Amino acid sequence: MYEVEFPQWAIDRNVRNRGREHAVISIEPAKTALIIIDIQNAWVQPGYSPLYIEAAKEVVPNINRLSNVMRAIGGHVVFTQHCWGEWPEFFEMFSNQAFKDEAIEKTQVGTHGHALWPELDVGDDDIMVVKTRPSAFIQGSSDMDAVLKSKGIDTVIITGTLTNACCESSARDAAALNYRVIFAADATATRSAQEHNSTLINLGQYVADIRFTDELTGFLESQAR
């Protein structure tokens, strides 16, 4: 696993701009959802598909820690499962035909690639959402926004893969829809430290509260008390 860092200068800037380190300083557990983005076989199983992210498997223990805490404090756990039903036109610029065909084939509902990675802890009351675009919140991608609003959820915690793609897209669109967003720095994964840490810096200024798993679990438990 590459080194995950949210640099001190970024923290100092946040303190200077808003008077404190963290943007989200309190939550109501019943109004909070942990969102686990696309931890599916297509992304996590070595050698299975061109979507494979080596670091994704390594963040699963942190995701499981957070999901177990969320259930214990009365929060919600939501898994997204991506399905490329059709290839967005803009993606044609960034992939060749072979990549496109295999990505579509191995993310269809009911396939091995669409299934959640078996090392995830999944609870009986957890929510499953199928999405078809990088962001789970953009119109036409999924019913995520409607599901969360029906439960009165106003705060989301983003985990999963890829940090700088589906996780970042979902975080930005959730914030635009007036959700308070926490981004779990070491429970998200992508291809490299540079891509990962750049996303944390960008999101941490105006979009999301950046927290690491150890701190975040303690924060969540303190809010339940």
The strand pair at 155-161 and 127-131 is best described as: unpaired
Which band of pLDDT confidence, cut at 50, 70 and 90, is reported for residue 86?
A: confident
Averaged pLDDT score across all residues of the chain: 96
pLDDT of residue 65: 98
Q: How far apart are CA 81 and CA 207, in angstroms?
A: 23
Q: Is 210 left (phi over 0), alpha (psi -120 to 50) or beta?
A: beta
2 secondary structure, DSSP code: P
Tell which wins on pLDDT, 77 or 86.
Answer: 77
Q: Give the model's pLDDT for residue 87.
A: 82
Cα–Cα dist 79/117, whole Å: 11
What does the pLDDT average to over 6-33?
97
Q: Which residue, chain included where needed, has tokens 């820690």?
A: 65
Q: Is the pLDDT of residue 32 over 90?
A: yes
Fold classification of 8-224 is Rossmann fold (3.40.50)
Residue type at 126?
A: D
Report the pLDDT averaged over residues 158-164.
Answer: 98
Each domain of the chain, given as residue ranges in start order, spans 8-224
The pLDDT of 76-103, averaged and rounded, is: 90
Chain centroid to CA 107 = 18
Q: What is the pLDDT of residues 100-118, one digit of tens each?
A: 999 999 999 999 999 999 9
pTM value > 0.95: yes
Span 193-221, average pLDDT: 98
